[in-house]
Structure 1
Amino acid sequence: MKSVDVVAGILWRGGRFLAVERPQGRPRAGFWEFPGGKIEQGETPEQALARELKEELGVDVRDFCFWRSVEHAYEDLAVRLRFFHVTGFAGEPQGLEGHRLAWLRCDEALRLRFLEADRPLVADLATITF
């Protein structure tokens, strides 16, 4: 089974966090997740986070901190995810890669279909405020 290292940013604004819906034509389309992507060879997780959020959302990361790591095996892919809280960024997030965006409270997020690897974190976000 293929294994990848991934970063994900939990962007915060006014007590809500940003979630993105995976676009049609991609694996696991229609599921919600935190924005981010694969760590490229030679990148640190922090560099990958900044690059991915710029490519995917058009924002420049300013203030962030590592939160936790999660490992998850899907049927076709094993992922090692590193999640970061992003409390400062420049620019207005846009779905540059076809993603639908939503600023959510935790109770709203719990009603959406999040990727399996992200679901436990969504519930844990209820205990965090930024």
Structure 2
Amino acid sequence: MDDERSESGRRHDVVCAVLIRHRQVLLAHRAATNDWYPDVWDLPGGHVESGETGTQALIRELREELGVSISELGDPPVAELRLEDMTLRIWRVDTWLGEPQNQAPEEHDTVGWFDLAEVSVLELASAEYRPLLHRLLE
């Protein structure tokens, strides 16, 4: 997640997914070399590009970052966070094709599955994630 304002001064439109399998969530560890939110666990996703809807962007981001295909997303998202310079919409994803793998090593150094107890002790990119993940994993 990038928490910066673009040159135009507009808010960033960011989308993320909570992939859930066997009561575990998939998180991506942001590389320590990242300019924004380095060395923390984050939800996979990214910026909505010009001309995309949020769902189109998330489908693209999951394919690019994890190598998985999803055909549909629930609407509306399970959460919408308004942070200082961005709006972050988060969807729950329970079904996809392919085995999630780190396809973006320049952004994430690893991905992993975590249960509720493990999520409780991880350093997450946003404090807002913890209650959301608890709700979705319970």
Q: Which of the five TM-score ranges fits, normalised by the shorter chain?
A: 0.7 to 0.9
How far apart, CA to CA, are the structure 2 residues paired with 1:33 and 1:61?
19
Instruction: Return the match for 2:123 from 97, 106, 113.
Output: 113
How far apart, CA to CA, are the structure 1 residues paired with 2:72 and 2:92?
8
CA contact under 8 A between 1:18 and 1:101: conserved in structure 2? yes
Structure 2: runs of 5+ lacking an equivalent: 6-10
Shift of 1:115: 1.1
Identify, as 1 or 2, the structure richer in strand.
Answer: 1
Task: Work out whether 1:128 is the aligned partner of 2:127.
Answer: no
Task: Work out whether 1:82 is the aligned partner of 2:82.
Answer: no
Aligned residues between the structures: 124
How far apart, CA to CA, are the structure 2 residues paired with 1:62 and 1:88?
9
Structure 1: runs of 5+ lacking an equivalent: none
Shift of 1:102: 1.3
Deviation readout 1:24-80 (Å, 9 max, x if unpaired): 32122211110000000100000000000000000001353221110112xxxx121
Q: TM-score, normalised by structure 1?
A: 0.87
Write the mapping of 1:1-130 to structure 2, written as runs, cut at 5 A: 2=5, 3-27=11-35, 28-65=37-74, 66-73=77-84, 78-98=85-105, 99=108, 100-116=110-126, 119-129=127-137
How far apart, CA to CA, are the structure 2 residues paired with 1:18 and 1:48?
18
CA contact under 8 A between 1:63 and 1:87: conserved in structure 2? no
TM superposition outliers: structure 1 runs of 4+ over 4 Å = none
> Cα RMSD (Å) of the superposition?
1.6
Shift of 1:91: 0.5
CA contact under 8 A between 2:116 and 2:137: conserved in structure 1? no
How far apart, CA to CA, are the structure 1 residues paired with 2:26 and 2:90?
13
Shift of 1:7: 0.3
